[in-house]
Amino acid sequence: MSKGARRWALEAERYRRDGFLSPVRIIGHGEAADHRRKLERAEAAAGNLHYQAKVHTILRSPLQLATHPRALDVVEALLGPNILVWNVTYIIKEPRTPAHVSWHQDLTYWGLDGEDQVSMWLALSPANETSGCMRLVPGSHREGRRGHRLTGDEANVLFQGQTVDGVDESAAELCPLQPGEASFHHGWTLHASLPNRSDDRRIGLNVQYLAPRMRQVKHSRDTALLARGVDEFGHFEHDIPATEDLHPDALARHRELNRLYQETVGRGP
* Separation of alpha carbons 30 and 55, rounded Å: 22
Report in angstroms how near the CB of residue 125 gets to ligand AKG at its nearest. 12
When the beta carbons of 67 and 183 are compared against ligand AKG, the nearer one is: 183
When the beta carbons of 43 and 231 are compared against ligand AKG, the nearer one is: 43
Could you give the strand order of the β-sheet that contains 101-104, starting from the edge strand earlier in sequence?
A: 101-104, 191-193, 134-136, 173-175
When the beta carbons of 84 and 124 are compared against ligand AKG, the nearer one is: 124
When the beta carbons of 68 and 191 are compared against ligand AKG, the nearer one is: 191
Report in angstroms how near the CB of residue 160 gets to ligand AKG at its nearest. 13
When the beta carbons of 27 and 136 are compared against ligand AKG, the nearer one is: 136
Tell me the three state secondary structure of residue 45: helix
Report in angstroms how near the CB of residue 248 gets to ligand AKG at its nearest. 30
Report in angstroms how near the CB of residue 182 gets to ligand AKG at its nearest. 11
Q: Of all residues in this chain, which one has the CB nearest to ligand AKG in the complex?
A: 193
Contact residues for 13 (Cβ-Cβ < 8 A; gap 6+): none
Count of helices and strands (H, E) across the chain: 6, 11
* Separation of alpha carbons 74 and 57, rounded Å: 23
Provide the binding-site residues for ligand AKG, judged by CB under 6 A.
91, 101, 106, 119, 121, 134, 191, 193, 204, 206
Residue 186 near residue 15, CB atoms below 8 Å: yes
Report in angstroms how near the CB of residue 189 gets to ligand AKG at its nearest. 9
Closest CA to 119 of 21, 31, 24, 185: 185
* Separation of alpha carbons 77 and 13, rounded Å: 10
* Separation of alpha carbons 117 and 128, rounded Å: 25
Report in angstroms how near the CB of residue 134 gets to ligand AKG at its nearest. 5
When the beta carbons of 156 and 258 are compared against ligand AKG, the nearer one is: 156
Number of CB atoms found within 10 A of residue 143's CB: 13
